[in-house]
Every structure is written in C-alpha cells, then in structure tokens.
C-alpha cells in the first residue's frame, strides 16, 4: 500500500510483480546474444582489417 498526502485518508494498492524465472532466463539469453554479437563483430573486424595487409592472420593469434 502506498500512502500520499494527495490521497487524503485513502491508500493506493500498487501490485508489484514477483521476480520469476522467465524474466531471469530472458535477461540471460539477451546478455549471451549480445556477447556473441560483439565477439563476432570484433572477430570479423580483425579478420577484415588483416585480410588486405598481405600477412597471414593466423600469425596474430599465436
């Protein structure tokens, strides 16, 4: 219950959603997808950057 001076003697009942497993799973999947997209973007950018340099990209991985 929320009480405020603008409500007078009345109170306001605000239903708070209980945290559920589905919201936790959704957040986890979103974070994992973002991490995969960022990792793939960095890999693609580094591969593309070194593709035109004439050097073997695999030497940079060692």
pLDDT digits (tens, 9 = 90+) for 26-52: 889 999 999 999 999 999 988 887 776
CA torsion, ordered 26, 32, 35, 37, to nearest 10 deg: -80
Q: State the average pLDDT for the chain.
A: 78
Comparing 37 with 56, which gets the higher pLDDT?
37
How far is Cα 52 from Cα 40, in angstroms, rounded to an integer?
Answer: 19
Neighbouring C-alpha atoms within 13 Å toward the C-beta of 6: 2
The whole-model pTM stands at 0.50
Strands (E), the chain: none
What percent of the chain is predicted at pLDDT more than 90? 27
Does the structure show a pLDDT above 90 at 16? no
């Amino acid at each position: 219950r929320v009480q405020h001076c603008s409500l007078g003697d009345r109170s306001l009942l605000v239903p708070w959603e209980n945290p559920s497993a589905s919201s936790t799973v959704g957040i986890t999947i979103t974070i994992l997808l973002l991490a995969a997209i960022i990792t793939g973007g960095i890999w693609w950018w580094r591969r593309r950057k070194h593709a035109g340099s004439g050097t073997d990209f695999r030497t940079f991985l060692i």
